[in-house]
Amino acid sequence: MTANSHLSDYELAELAAGNASQTVLAHLQACTECGFEAREVREAIAGFRGALTLLAGEPLTAGERSSRASRSMHAWGVRIVGALAILAMVCGGVLLDRNTARKLIHPAPVSDSELLNQVQDELSDDSPAALAPAGYLADERDAILETTPQTQPQQGRH
């Protein structure tokens, strides 16, 4: 009960659910206002329960049945199409992954100077003006490499 000594909404809900305390039951006998409200809640619940019982017992009309059936078929169609789309994506991913693995080419090992020469050749093809200094450095490097004898790197040292 609240400060004005009437039942709260919670206490009325407990009463409607059949879980009222002895204090609430005693208050209902003494307070006509709360008794009236409790009767209204019980009658509303009983009316709702009766309406549901009537609706549950009535057969569906032909239009309602066909409407429900078409919605059900549409829902199943959407589910099947979605499942097939997912299956196609998974199969496509597996096939692409297999083809990619076959096409991988492992390049043969290349010496540092050969690799730098390849980079230089690629840079010299249509290189922008901003990279011109890099071309000068590469030319200088080539000139140095031509004048010094190439030695084999020593194996075993790390």
> pLDDT digits over 88-135, tens only?
888 777 777 665 655 556 667 778 888 888 887 777 666 666 767 777
* Residue 108: predicted pLDDT: 73
What's the number of domains the chain is made of? Answer: 2
Q: Which two tokens stand for residue 96?
A: 């692409």
Displacement of CA 63 from its chain's centroid (Å): 38
Residue 62 near residue 34, CB atoms below 8 Å:
no
On whether the CB atoms of residues 45 and 16 are closer than 8 A, the answer is: yes
d(CA 31, CA 123): 97
Residue 75 has pLDDT above 60, yes or no: yes
| Domain limits for position 127 | 113-146
Q: Looking at residue 57, what is its pLDDT?
A: 67
With contact defined as beta carbons under 8 Å apart, do 137 and 127 qualify? Answer: no
Mean pLDDT of 42-50: 78
Residue 108 in domain: no
Judge whether 85 lies within some domain: no
In a domain, 31, yes or no: yes
Interior angle at CA 29, CA 25 and CA 34, nearest 5: 80
* Residue 77 confidence (pLDDT) above 80: no
Of 60-64, 69-73, 111-115, the range with the lowest mean pLDDT is 60-64
Does some domain include residue 13?
A: yes
105 within some domain? no
Compute how many other C-beta atoms are within 10 angstroms of the C-beta atom of residue 44.
11
In a domain, 73, yes or no: no
Selection from 1, 32, 30 nearest residue 15 by Cα: 1
* pLDDT of residue 33 exceeding 60: yes
Q: How far apart are the first and last CA of the chain?
A: 87
Give the pLDDT confidence score for residue 3 in this predicted structure.
47
48 lies in some domain: yes
- Cα distance between residue 108 and residue 24, in whole Å: 91
What the block records as the tokens of 31 is 């307070």
